[in-house]
Structure 1
Amino acid sequence: MPLFVMIAKDKPGTGAQRTATRPVHLEHLTAMGQKLVLAGALMGEDGNPEGSLLVLEADSLEAARATLLADPFIAEGIFGSVEVKPWRVAINHSGREF
């Protein structure tokens, strides 16, 4: 199944809002099940989150966008920019086959 990546950057000044919304965001990620390959915060040099990176298995770019763009961080206006793109694995040390 094809892989897709979401790269999202937070709007400046949304740290407290991100923290408050995080439980609902994590519920959304958990609901994706095994199709969600990787997910985590992009960290700034100061050690604070400044965005998110997610890798999802989906049948198509449209299906990936529908799932990834339903993220509560988007609905709450935390992300200032969001990209969803097809992604190809070049090196895989995880042991998982794609």
Structure 2
Amino acid sequence: MLYALLCTDKPDHLQVRLDTRAAHLDYLNGLSDQIKFAGPFLGEDGKPNGSLVVVDAADPMAAKNIAASDPYSKAGLFASVEIRPWNWAIKNPDNN
């Protein structure tokens, strides 16, 4: 099942994000087929202030473990992480 990880950065933590970005990208790329897509949310200033990560996981706990193992999470970047089941209904490449 697909899960959307909706991550909100703590205020004034942009440097934590920048310092941890390479490890975060390596982690996501290492998830291989489990990662469907990901990218940052942007503030009005155009700078990242959160993340949307969609993963394929067996259950909510597996999705939670993926989120908790992210270097951004381990570095204390996120003020909150919401995990929601998600249905990719439009333009899902697996449904062609």
TM-score (norm 1): 0.90
| Correspondence for 1:96 | 94
DSSP-derived class of the 2:93 partner: coil
Alignment of 1:1-80 (within 5 A): 2-80=1-79
Distance 2:9 2:64 in 1: 18
Q: Which runs of 5+ in 2 are unaligned?
A: none
- Structure in which a larger fraction of residues adopt helix: 2
Whole-Å separation in 1 of the counterparts to 2:62 and 2:16: 27
Structure 1: state its 5+ residue gaps.
none
SS at match of 2:94: coil
Q: Between Structure 1 and Structure 2, how many residues are aligned?
A: 96
How far apart, in 1, do the equivalents of 2:31 and 2:83 lie?
16
Residue 24 of structure 1 deviates from its aligned partner by 0.6
Cα offset, 1:90, TM superposition: 3.0
What stretches of structure 1 move > 2 A for 4+ residues in a row? Answer: 94-97
3-state SS, counterpart of residue 53 of structure 2: strand
